[in-house]
Structure 1
Amino acid sequence: MNNNTFIIAEAGVNHNGDIGLAKKLVDVAADAGVNAVKFQTWKTELLVTKDAKMADYQVENTQQEETQYEMLKRLELSYNDFSELKLYCDTKGITFMSTPDEEQSASFLDGLQEIFKIGSGELTNTPFLRHIASFNKPVILSTGMGYLSEVEHAIMTLQDAGLALNQITVLHATTDYPTASEDVNLRAMLTIENAFPGIEVGYSDHTLGIEVPVAAVAMGAKVIEKHFTLDKTMEGPDHKASLEPSELKQMVEAIRNIEVALGTGWKVPTPTEQSNRSVVRKSIVAAKVISAGELITADMLEIKRPGNGISPTRWDEVLGSVAKKDYRIGELL
């Protein structure tokens, strides 16, 4: 990661269990100019009980009555698929990432990626956090559904297991698909940053559109994660709350524009402004004929453009001084 915002295009499970679709998602992400494309890796038998229910949003978005186990088994890609996707990402010049959902898959992914993303569901999973920390690689930690105390516990767990604070980036998130604007609470990202001095923060977005992640960058997010899909009308739990290819590209362009606009923070004139100063600003000008040796009073002066004479900031200094030369009406002092 560098000084620019690290943008993760979250493919997630929007491949619908088809590696061909997964590769098309990689193509879209690479074309959009993101830093990384991210999937999710799990073995269903290790992740969920066979009778676990789906989340309400999953039922609503899929319009199917099935268990989590059945849905996840249908969406599962094999380890060989992920190895193939990693190689495909390499050919496209984009960073491959995948979020592991259990320890076996985490160990597998350790051979494929240099950055680990921990999903919000694992924020309170102490053994899992320790396992991820054992790889000694940078970690991006999502905090959806979490209290600040739980975020603190997760950070301390990662640190106690060997990670340095500068290896951890914490993402504010709201685990709802899609997230309503009133539930975003972007200021919570700043709360996290202030609570843990030295840590980098970012935002994992599940709103519709691109405004909120762009705003997060303006507020200081170092990492942005956003779901995307080939087509929002496809069947699956996350497509409806994802960006389509053109929208993903627009988000990346907007974020990069915001990064440039944020600038250095130094309040100084730009080079363009320097040339405009004499045109737009004003100078102290003779309002009447002034003879050398006269005591200058306010009624002898006015303030007009251009600004390449004595600045009006020196008004009090000029008043009461003695004219050193003759001035005609309208001449800059």
Structure 2
Amino acid sequence: QWEELIGIVRNNGKELMLLLNDTKAIDFASKFNPEMIEIHSVCLNVPRLQRAVIENIDKKAKVVIGIGGCSLDEVKKAVQFFHEREIVLMFGFQNYPTKYENVNLGKIRKIQALYPGKKFGYADHTSWDEDNNELITLLVSANGMDFIEKHVTTDYGKERCDYSAAISIEQLNMLYKKIKLLENLYGDGSMLLNKAEEDYSKYGPMKMAAIAKHDLVKGSKLTMGDVHFCRTSQSTGISQIDLLQVIGNKLVEDVKINQVIDWNHIRER
């Protein structure tokens, strides 16, 4: 059955991730070159299992470390052991079902701060009949998660293995769309202004610009008393901060009342 399921995954162009809880599972997994393997928190630091992963699983495979219910020292030791591999720290624990008050986003954020170069995931085991099931998943996902794990069933609510945290296929598809939306919201983290922000930050039409309070004469020195700030249809390259740097400079041309002060009006000191 496992080989059949793996074949379905491969035939549909999906990446393969396998949960490996013992050395036999590792031997089996090595035949299929999975893109990702996961070590559950229950066996996170078992020496024989750790060595088997290093010896049998391709170095290109991501190592997902289940850290739910683990101490900081246990997490640290596992990260140190697999330091040469690409690691994903997987939050969440299987106390079926997980109560949302036990998720502890505050703790998750602190652990993320300890490993700024790592990728993160969340194994969600919220109860299948929790009204806020999807909301809880999305809120955790929005906190810098690269991967989300959910149980899925074709018999929603029917008592069977792992049913207590399993969502339906329809719910999974809807969750996928919303997580993609979150990815777009998250952005690339660049601190530079994007095009929309640049348009919003223009001095004059958007941000208050320095305007001549009265007619200013070429050759006179610009003073703070010569200007006031307001929004206008005129644009200027001089920001509110820039103006402080040019106060005291001479004007190289006349400036009419209610005209914005721009760089072409100012002589360098």
Calculate the TM-score normalised by the size of structure 1. 0.63
| 1:293–1:324 Cα contact (<8 Å) kept | yes
Separation in structure 1 between the aligned mates of residue 95 and residue 159 of structure 2, nearest angstrom = 18
Match of 1:120 among 38, 41, 49: 41
Give identity over the alignment, percent. Answer: 23
Separation in structure 2 between the aligned mates of residue 321 and residue 118 of structure 1, nearest angstrom = 67
The 5-angstrom pairing of residues 1-333 of structure 1 reads 81-114=1-34, 115-137=36-58, 138=61, 139-155=63-79, 159=81, 163-193=82-112, 199-208=118-127, 209-276=133-200, 277-278=202-203, 279-306=205-232, 308-309=235-236, 310-333=238-261
State the SS of the aligned residue for 1:247. Answer: helix
Separation in structure 2 between the aligned mates of residue 194 and residue 312 of structure 1, nearest angstrom = 35
Separation in structure 1 between the aligned mates of residue 241 and residue 218 of structure 2, nearest angstrom = 23
State the SS of the aligned residue for 1:228. Answer: strand
Q: Unmatched 5+ residue regions in structure 2?
A: 128-132, 262-269
State the SS of the aligned residue for 2:89. Answer: strand
RMSD between superposed Cα atoms in Å: 3.0
Separation in structure 1 between the aligned mates of residue 195 and residue 124 of structure 2, nearest angstrom = 37
Separation in structure 2 between the aligned mates of residue 249 and residue 324 of structure 1, nearest angstrom = 64
- The total of aligned residue pairs comes to 248
**Residues 94 and 319 of structure 1: CA distance in aligned 2, closer, same or farther (over 3 Å):** closer
Shift, 1:267, TM fit? 2.1
State the SS of the aligned residue for 1:166. Answer: coil
- The code of the aligned residue for 1:315 comes to L
| 2:33–2:57 Cα contact (<8 Å) kept | no
- The code of the aligned residue for 1:282 comes to M
Shift, 1:164, TM fit? 4.4
**Residues 130 and 315 of structure 1: CA distance in aligned 2, closer, same or farther (over 3 Å):** closer
- The code of the aligned residue for 2:25 comes to S
Separation in structure 2 between the aligned mates of residue 192 and residue 273 of structure 1, nearest angstrom = 32
| 1:172–1:203 Cα contact (<8 Å) kept | yes
Separation in structure 2 between the aligned mates of residue 292 and residue 198 of structure 1, nearest angstrom = 56
Calculate the TM-score normalised by the size of structure 2. 0.75
